[in-house]
Structure 1
Amino acid sequence: MTMMADTSLREYANAASQAAERISMSVLVPFYGDNPGGLVRALEDQAAGDVEIVLYDDGEPDRELNAALSLLLASLETPARLLTSTRNRGRSEGRNLLAEQARGDWLVFLDADMRPGGPAFLQTYRALAARGGFDAAYGGHATDWPSERELELHAALTRSCEEHGAEERNVTGPTAFCSSNILVRADVMKAVPFDTGFTGWGFEDVDWAVMAAREFTLVHVDNPAWHGGLQSPAALLAKFRAGAVNYRRLLDRHPELAGLPGARAARTLARIPGQAALRGVWSTITRSPVLPMKLRTTALKLWRASWTAEALS
């Protein structure tokens, strides 16, 4: 763990963390407004011995939540710390900061709205780390079907595009990595941090995996975490529009990724005169709860490809 000279950053460490002499694995959880309390409680049930939990509040948008989390960590027997930044650093810089401050030889990145996929989640990662033979692993994730109809589109999109087993993901390779459930050696993060040139949402994890795979061994395993944080169609439309800039950065940094489905779709749309005028149609279809789900997810993908085409032009 490095010393924190940055005056915009403060730390709370519970009694167990202050007393811990040896930490082998650090579970790192960045958040911005989301409450990671449920995840922390689930991890407490699985953590044992030399595992620590480190939370990072990026910009402290909710001071009451921050204070409540400090009280929660104080009640834990597991070593736990809360890092709080008074300025928003973003996804890449926040994760880099967590990696710098972690004390473990192995790091597990999880999102605040996740929960372990099973009672042996951490045990599985500890066993994998002990066995070795790799430098970073992505465990995959699963999604509960929501009770709110407005969130069904996001769940359907996630299940169709992201929920694949390790065998299939290993065929895809580094571009199937997501930062939401990664086990990685601490020295890998020192050598290959997340690129802070990616701002806002999207693709910093793919960029990181492609860069890391050039020097280290990356693998896919079946150790999923359940992912919450489903968003409304309106939120997805906004996110995918904004993410086009990051996709452009990804392709600029890695021209070999020009064959990715999203890049091919964007190039195809770019050849259609006036394709941008169709965005209103795709937006309407995406938002409509009465239309078939496959049609809605297709419209959302076309919306994303359209904005990507503009960013690539």
Structure 2
Amino acid sequence: MSPALFTETVNAAANSAGTAHLSVLVPFYRDDAGALLSAFEREAGDGTEMVLFDDGCPDERLNAETAQAVLACPRPARLVTARSNLGRAGARNALARRARGAWLLYLDADMVLPAGFFARWQEIAGKAEFDAAFGGFDLIADEAREHRVHAALARAGDVAPAAARTARGASAVCSSNLLVRAALMRTVPFDEGFTGWGWEDVDWAVRASKAGRLVHVDNSAVHAGLQPVEGLLSKFAAGGANFARFLARNPEMSVLPGARAAVLVKRTRLASPVRRLSAAAARSQVLPVRLRVLALKLYRAACAAEALS
């Protein structure tokens, strides 16, 4: 008999609980979700559960520590461990299938939650005239020196109040702080054809906005997972194929600035040298941060250009 694809650690509260109003869903891969579990234990109200998903168990020590924390939690909590890595889309779909709540709240494992975060989401869900809502994210005020370029890149686009995100619509949605009706997720799952990093959440949002009402609200959490430039270069290189898939599935999104830049780079037939030169500029310690951010954007466009058909 082949080994089970998943194992599950269920605490006493989850064993005795029935359905939930809100399921807090946290996929992780090497990231420690212990702080989120502690915040859930302190602040989540009645009718909530937390389900953690270790996507492939690359760190057995972390998995064991998380299992112990789940068992010790007085609120309903479970840890699902995948035998092999499912990826970002697959992990989120697997979490949705295991959730008992009418509402699903996706959080990245490295998010830091302000006081009252869960209570605000429960209140928002209780009054909901929508099917999905993105709460936004903030950054820590004093980031490390090696993270300043990533912070500046985020502040130039992703970090914004609900009004500004609403103007951008589905393209401003991330799965790092996302509330969704379980019924909508059953109708519109994440596309598991996206592999590696990037764009599976925006693709989901574009499709979900056609099947239900998607809104932006102000209930942000702090995104603590900033990376040095080298990490961003690696992610953008891996995400080029995903961006090409996103545009192929959603051709109306070709009006996005990143898409226009990728098409322009492709037309020049200079994607390879642009990629090489922009990477060098992004790594440069002597250039101002704003120019390094511009170089990263150009690098991302070049990576996407190489993947476009």
Q: TM-score, normalised by structure 1?
A: 0.95
Q: Distance in 1 between matches of 2:201 and 2:270?
A: 32
The match for 2:43 among 15, 27, 46 is 46
CA shift at 1:145, angstroms?
4.2
Q: Distance in 2 between matches of 1:179 and 1:19?
A: 29
The match for 2:176 among 167, 180, 185 is 180
Partner of 1:205: 201
Partner of 1:287: 283
Answering whether residue 163 of structure 2 is matched by residue 167 of structure 1, we say yes
CA shift at 1:28, angstroms?
0.2
CA shift at 1:213, angstroms?
0.9
Query: What amino acid sits opposite 2:274 in the alignment?
Result: L
Partner of 2:10: 13
- 1:32-54 C-alpha deviation (Å, 9 max, x unpaired): 11110011112221112111111
CA shift at 1:152, angstroms?
1.4
**3-state SS in 1 of match to 2:166:** helix
Partner of 2:233: 237
Structure 2, unpaired ranges of 5+:
none
**3-state SS in 2 of match to 1:56:** strand
RMSD of aligned alpha carbons: 1.4
Q: Distance in 2 between matches of 1:125 and 1:212?
A: 20
The match for 2:308 among 302, 305, 312 is 312
CA, structure 1 residues 219+6, in 2 after alignment: closer, same or farther (shift >3 Å)?
farther
Partner of 2:137: 141
1:71-90 correspondence to structure 2 within 5 Å: 71-90=68-87
Query: What amino acid sits opposite 1:94 in the alignment?
Result: A
CA shift at 1:312, angstroms?
1.1
Q: Distance in 2 between matches of 1:218 and 1:274?
A: 38
Q: Percent identity?
A: 48
Structure 1, unpaired ranges of 5+:
none
**3-state SS in 2 of match to 1:271:** helix
Q: TM-score, normalised by structure 2?
A: 0.96
CA, structure 1 residues 146+235, in 2 after alignment: closer, same or farther (shift >3 Å)?
farther
CA, structure 1 residues 30+127, in 2 after alignment: closer, same or farther (shift >3 Å)?
same
Q: Distance in 2 between matches of 1:146 and 1:63?
A: 32
**What is the count of residue pairs matched by the alignment?**
308
Partner of 1:102: 99
Asked whether the equivalents of residues 285 and 299 of structure 1 are also in contact (C-alpha less than 8 Å), the reply is: yes
Query: What amino acid sits opposite 1:55 in the alignment?
Result: L
CA shift at 1:235, angstroms?
1.1
Asked whether the equivalents of residues 146 and 155 of structure 1 are also in contact (C-alpha less than 8 Å), the reply is: no
- 1:192-229 C-alpha deviation (Å, 9 max, x unpaired): 00000000001000110111111100000000011111
